[in-house]
């Protein structure tokens, strides 16, 4: 098996990151001998990924808890909005995920079987600026949600809030109010996760900002406080910046571990794991602890979970042999059945060239019908084989490196001619207008073309390159100085697309289709 990224060193130890992939704001629980992880999904659909592991090191993506975002505006990509910072819990033999949507409120989804279909989302508390929600069911049967606030929506940050909710977890039953003020000592505190141990209520939360912050623990004998505070992990002398938001879990023998993310720019927020010990009723996360504050580790002995798993790697290649989309894929916004077919031509992904944005000059940034996948290793080669005979006038199909800046190569039908184009967009400069350059015109009988992206190690930053090839030609480089980038809280992604590239007031619904035969991703050392 080809491992794109392997954290298991197969000698009783593991290396960080566990997952070199953008699973922002992770949370994790153990139920029996299985660990379940979820993460933010923002505007990408399906949302709320479910990953499982038996040994905390080797993870598999197995499901999503959210089929779509049930607001019509998400039919157009709403970048930096959507599903933020979930918390997953198991209560009364049922799985729950709570998440904030900063413009709508705090929601909950639940399921008896986390690998099956989850129930429809329930709006627990409506309101702007309510984010990073974590439920807690106390021993006396009372239930609460502790959460953060988004300054961009509500005008302030660095506070944590609390409100009581019904025992079934479906509705707030009291007013939201401030629980903790971190303005002076824990600025930008957010992402709270709530636990109870030895009579104390604990809130583990990052503070100080995503790129340079630290992990804080709050504790109190009363869930409403007042809370003592202590910094329990920071970057120290390591190269692991942040280290940011995550969740605490344990093993069957009582050992505890903390899974969190590290912001890696264009790669997004990748997943790390640290050992946890307790001193004087405070958790200490990481290694090389001084005064009860640890540092993140790069390598450590594997957790003793009582279960051994074979090394695994997240998938990125796809031959489109299934009648369902592989779990690696997420749409840029809410999808429709009209976007694609995996059965119209067996063994191919057919994408229909549509303009779901309805705009006269559609751009990919505003098109829900872009199919994306996370980067899962630092350096790679990704190649897709694209069949183009189904495209019609103003239709185009290709491969994109999506992000705050994005670039793509595509075949576009211009005046009846199959035309190879290169296009890029820079949000900071042009308000996401695409600048398109014609590379060459293809022969009328050209049926398929290969597109390749590579990310290679550079002296200061990764080097991104683009290529195309035809059956009768060698691979040809497309000259570009494009550098992939993240956008707000989402890393760059590889994408496949077909869309209608229209002029003026032409709103033609369909401009043909394109068939993707496969995509193959391999790691570059």
Average pLDDT over residues 480-504: 89
Give the closest residue to 227 by CA, choosing from 236, 212, 217.
Answer: 217
What positions carry a catalytic annotation?
Answer: 25, 190
H or E element that contains 154: helix 151-154
What values do phi and psi take at 192, rounded to 5?
Answer: -70, 140
Paired residues of 45 in beta bridges: 331
Question: Measured between alpha carbons, how far is 48 from 65 in angstroms, rounded to an integer?
Answer: 5
User: Residue 351 contacts by C-beta under 8 Å, 6 or more apart in sequence?
Assistant: 339, 340, 369, 371, 397, 496, 497, 498, 513, 514, 516
> How do 256-263 and 200-207 pair as beta strands?
unpaired
Antiparallel, parallel or unpaired: β 177-181 and 193-197: unpaired
CA atoms within 13 A on the CB side of 96: 23
Are 52 and 41 contacting, i.e. CB atoms less than 8 angstroms apart?
no
Cβ burial, residue 400 (10 Å; 0-12/13-18/19+): buried
Q: CA 301, CA 303: separation in Å to the nearest integer?
A: 7
pLDDT digits (tens, 9 = 90+) for 139-153: 999 999 999 999 999
Q: What is the pLDDT of residues 311-330, one digit of tens each?
A: 999 999 999 999 999 999 99
- Residue of 153, 148, 225 lying closest to 189 (CA atoms): 148
pLDDT band of residue 366 (cuts 50, 70, 90) is: very high
Residue 112 pLDDT greater than 90, yes or no:
yes
Max Cα separation, the chain?
Answer: 75
Which among 415, 406, 5, 27 is positioned nearest to 245, based on CA atoms? 27
Distance CA 4, CA 524 (A): 9
pLDDT at 351 (0 to 100): 98
What is the pLDDT, as a whole number, of residue 334? 97
Give the per-residue pLDDT at 505.
45
Are the C-beta atoms of 312 and 59 separated by less than 8 Å? Answer: yes
The strands making up 228-234's β-sheet, listed across from edge to edge, are 193-197, 200-207, 214-220, 228-234, 293-295, 287-290
What is the total residue count of the chain? 525
Helix (H) or strand (E) holding 426: strand 417-426
Give the pLDDT confidence score for residue 503 in this predicted structure.
57
The closest of 489, 457, 494 to 261, measured between CA atoms, is: 489
| 240 pLDDT above the threshold of 80 | yes
Looking at residue 506, its pLDDT comes to 46
Whole-angstrom Cα distance, residue 202 to residue 192?
9
pLDDT of res. 508: 52
Of 266, 261, 264, 186, nearest to 227 (Cα)?
Answer: 186
Q: Is the CA virtual torsion 4, 37, 192, 272 positive or negative?
A: negative
Task: Convert the pLDDT of each residue in 379-407 to its tens digit.
Answer: 999 999 999 999 999 999 999 999 989 99
Is there a contact between 153 and 102 (Cβ–Cβ < 8 Å)? Answer: yes
Q: Please give the share of the chain, as a percent, with pLDDT higher than 70.
A: 98
Q: Rounded to an integer, what is the distance from CA 57 to the centroid of its chain? A: 18
Distances (CA, A) of 44 to 76, 92, 206: 11, 30, 24
Do 111 and 119 meet the contact criterion of CB atoms below 8 Å apart?
yes
Determine the average pLDDT of the residues in 71-98.
Answer: 97
Instruction: Assign 3-state DSSP to the chain and report helix, strand, coil percentages, each to 5.
Output: 5, 50, 45
510 — pLDDT class (breaks 50, 70, 90): confident
CB 97 within 8 A of CB 84: no
Spell out the residues 6+ positions from residue 49 whose beta carbon is closer than 8 angstroms to its own.
Answer: 23, 37, 38, 39, 41, 61, 63, 64, 65, 327
Alpha carbons 60 and 64: distance in angstroms, whole number = 12
State pLDDT tens for residues 290-313: 999 999 999 999 999 999 899 999
Q: What pTM value is reported for the model?
A: 0.96
- Answer for the pair 333, 76: CB distance below 8 angstroms, yes or no: yes
What is the pLDDT of the chain when averaged over all its residues?
95
**Percent of residues, the chain, with pLDDT higher than 90:** 92
Distances (CA, A) of 101 to 61, 80, 147, 153: 23, 10, 12, 11
Structure tokens at 480: 């570009």
For 417-470, how does the pLDDT look when each residue is reduced to its tens digit (9 = 90+)? 999 999 999 875 455 789 999 999 999 999 999 999 999 998 888 999 999 999
If pLDDT is split at 50, 70 and 90, which confidence band does 509 have?
Answer: low
- Phi, psi (rounded to 5 degrees) for 51: -115, 145
Predicted local distance difference test score (pLDDT) of residue 215: 98
Strands 435-441 and 417-426, bridge-based pairing: antiparallel
């Amino acid at each position: 098996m080809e491992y794109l990224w392997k954290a298991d060193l197969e000698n009783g130890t593991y290396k960080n990151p566990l997952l070199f992939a953008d699973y922002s704001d992770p949370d994790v629980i153990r139920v029996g001998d299985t660990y379940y992880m979820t993460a933010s999904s923002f505007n990408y659909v399906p949302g709320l990924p479910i990953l499982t592991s038996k040994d905390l090191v080797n993870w598999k993506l197995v499901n999503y808890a959210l089929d779509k975002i049930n607001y019509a505006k998400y039919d157009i990509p709403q970048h930096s909005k959507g599903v933020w910072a979930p918390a997953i819990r198991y209560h009364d033999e049922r799985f729950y995920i709570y998440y904030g949507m900063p413009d709508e409120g705090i929601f909950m989804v639940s399921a008896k079987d986390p690998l099956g279909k989850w129930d429809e989302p329930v709006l627990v508390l409506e309101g702007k600026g309510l984010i990073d929600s974590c439920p807690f069911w106390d021993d006396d049967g009372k239930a609460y949600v502790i959460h953060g606030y988004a300054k961009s929506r509500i005008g302030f940050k660095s506070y944590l809030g609390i409100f009581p909710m019904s025992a079934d977890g479906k509705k707030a039953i009291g007013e939201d109010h401030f629980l903790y003020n971190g303005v002076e000592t824990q600025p930008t505190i957010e992402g709270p996760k709530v636990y109870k141990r030895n009579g104390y209520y604990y809130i583990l939360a990052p503070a100080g900002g995503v790129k340079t912050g630290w992990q804080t623990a709050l504790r109190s004998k009363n869930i409403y406080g007042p809370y003592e505070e202590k910094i329990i992990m920071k970057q120290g002398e390591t190269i692991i910046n942040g280290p940011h938001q995550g969740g605490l879990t344990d093993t069957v023998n009582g050992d505890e571990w903390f899974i969190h993310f590290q912001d890696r720019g264009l790669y997004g927020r990748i997943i790390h794991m640290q050992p946890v010990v307790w001193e004087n009723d405070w958790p200490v996360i990481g290694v090389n602890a001084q005064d009860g504050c640890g540092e993140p580790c790069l390598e450590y002995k594997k957790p003793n979970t009582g279960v051994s798993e074979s090394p695994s790697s997240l998938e990125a290649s796809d031959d489109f042999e299934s009648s369902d989309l592989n779990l690696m894929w997420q749409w840029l916004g809410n999808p429709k059945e009209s976007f694609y077919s995996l059965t119209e031509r067996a063994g191919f992904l057919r994408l229909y060239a549509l303009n779901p944005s309805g705009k006269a000059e559609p751009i990919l940034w505003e098109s829900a019908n872009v199919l994306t996948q996370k980067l899962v290793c630092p350096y790679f080669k990704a190649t897709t084989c694209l069949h183009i005979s189904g495209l019609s006038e103003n239709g185009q199909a290709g491969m994109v490196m999506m992000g705050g800046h994005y670039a793509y190569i595509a075949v576009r039908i211009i005046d009846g001619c199959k035309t190879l184009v290169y296009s890029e967009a820079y949000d900071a400069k042009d308000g996401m207008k695409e600048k398109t350059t014609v590379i060459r015109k293809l022969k009328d009988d050209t049926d398929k073309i290969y597109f390749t992206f590579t990310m290679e190690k550079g002296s200061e930053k990764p080097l991104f390159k683009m290529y195309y090839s035809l059956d009768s030609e060698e691979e040809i480089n497309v000259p570009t100085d494009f550098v992939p980038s993240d956008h707000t809280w989402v890393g760059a992604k590889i994408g496949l697309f077909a869309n209608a590239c229209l002029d003026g007031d032409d709103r033609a619904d369909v401009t043909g289709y394109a068939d993707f035969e496969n995509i193959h991703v391999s790691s570059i050392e």
